[in-house]
Amino acid sequence: MYDWANSAYITTVSVGVLPIFFADVIVGPSGVTLFGISLKATTLWSWLIGFSAFLVFLSAPVLGAIADYSSSKKRFLALFCYSGVLGTLLLISCGPGDIIKTALFFILAQTGFVGGNVFYDSFLPHIATEDNLDRVSGKGFAYGYIGGGVQFALSLGIIVGHETLGISSITAVRIAIAMAAFWWGGFALLTFAFLKEERPAKLHNGNTAITTGPFDYLRIGFSRTWQTALKVKQFKHLTLFLIAFMIYNDGIQTVISMSTIYGREELKLLPRDLMLTLLIIQFVAFFGALLFARIAEWLSAKTALLITLCLWSAVVIYAYFMTSTTEFYILGMVVGLCMGGSQALSRSLYGSIIPADASAEFYGFYSVFNKFSSIWGPLAFGLITAIAGSSRQAVLSLIVFFIVGIILLLFVNVAKAREARDLDIFSMHDA
């Protein structure tokens, strides 16, 4: 249900509505001049995405270590969730020219979303057995695509029919953003009401509980993160997977985050066509997540993941040559198919090779690699766009991320990674 809840934000706000509103209203078609340099909305938006990722990159592993030690994954999830909801609600106050204001509120919302997913993902090894990880992760993403799709369909109806409703287009956008915030915060209450978090057995030193304050937890968080970093590098297959994930995910996240603004500025598509495409992506991704979970059962999670990366390579080649709305619709269907599979399988494959009793800490590292990749892809996209004057060269360049990711993933031995997971050196640290 948390996938169902927070997908409203990523679909309606981060990808569907806000990028168009940012380009057309906040910045405007003429762009903005900073330090004598003229910048398009595409460039500014890519940098906002990258900076938000950088904030999570800095904090996720330490917070994950603290959450594991103190049995507070659920509390951290709630903290990031509702800070993201607050940032989303504040976005409705932004108007033409409010670039800095929009940037600050978006960073708060985006950081809440991606930071919350660190602790949400860390519950996966606790609620599913190893042979069910792919299926449960796939169902989570599938529910998310449907939840996000339903909320986005409601928002699309308000935006497209704003004249019939007697409201302005800007008011319709603000209603859509506010609705996404309440959807996220409201349905997340089900998660916080029913999700249980067990107290870890190793929270005690011997038979005596360790009394800690905020600074003690911070010290423990940094200490455990450093110890884990030293241990992770000794396990080449886990490390190799993380590197492969960092690279191919760079391409995936850049396609997702830049697709709407690419269609708006490069292809000159109408906002309703862009949002309809995103709606198509959501519902196709539902089937994609379930389909590739089944393929993972037939073949393996790694093989199924490799298939999705080949599809992603085809996506960016097709995106470079496309010129029409119909082609954008077709692209959306393919993106939905491979997006559902690649995201769910990456999460479940990683969950199967990490120790469950340190899941938040290890998913903190997963988030580091996830968000580290999310920094460079959008920044590079914006830089290439600024230099070339067109986003087509930037989107084609993304194929490098998928090809390199495929090559590295081929060398990952999942069986050996799972053997390493069970070694004593990979166990949770004592305080």
Q: CA-to-CA distance for 86 and 260, rounded, in angstroms? A: 24
Predicted confidence (pLDDT) per residue in 63-80, tens digit: 666 666 667 788 889 999
Q: Which residue has the tokens 């950088």?
A: 54
Q: For the chain, what percent of residues have pLDDT higher than 70?
A: 75
Beta-bridge partner residues of 32: 39
Pick the CATH number of 2-198+210-426 from 3.90.1150.10, 2.40.128.90, 3.30.540.10, 1.20.1250.20: 1.20.1250.20
Domains in the chain: boundaries? 2-198+210-426
Sign of CA dihedral 381, 382, 386, 387: negative
pTM of the full structure? 0.72
Beta-bridge partner residues of 38: 33
Question: Is the pLDDT assigned to residue 423 strictly greater than 70?
Answer: no
Token representation of residue 164: 């019939």
Sign of CA dihedral 204, 206, 209, 213: negative
The confidence score (pLDDT) of residue 179 equals 96
User: Any alpha helices (H) in 233-358, and if so which ranges?
Assistant: 236-265, 271-298, 301-321, 325-351
Q: CA-to-CA distance for 293 and 305, rounded, in angstroms? A: 10
The confidence score (pLDDT) of residue 424 equals 45
Residue 84 C-beta-side C-alpha neighbours within 13 Å: 31
The confidence score (pLDDT) of residue 328 equals 85
Q: For the chain, what percent of residues have pLDDT higher than 90?
A: 19
The confidence score (pLDDT) of residue 62 equals 67
Q: Which residue has the tokens 């504040």?
A: 90
Phi first, then psi, for residue 286 (nearest 5°) are: -55, -50
31-68 in b/e form (b: 16+ CB < 10 A) is: bbeeeeeebbbbbbbbbbbbbbbbbbbebbbbbbbbbb
More confident residue, 261 or 415: 415
The confidence score (pLDDT) of residue 421 equals 67
Residue 333 CB neighbours (<10 A): 15
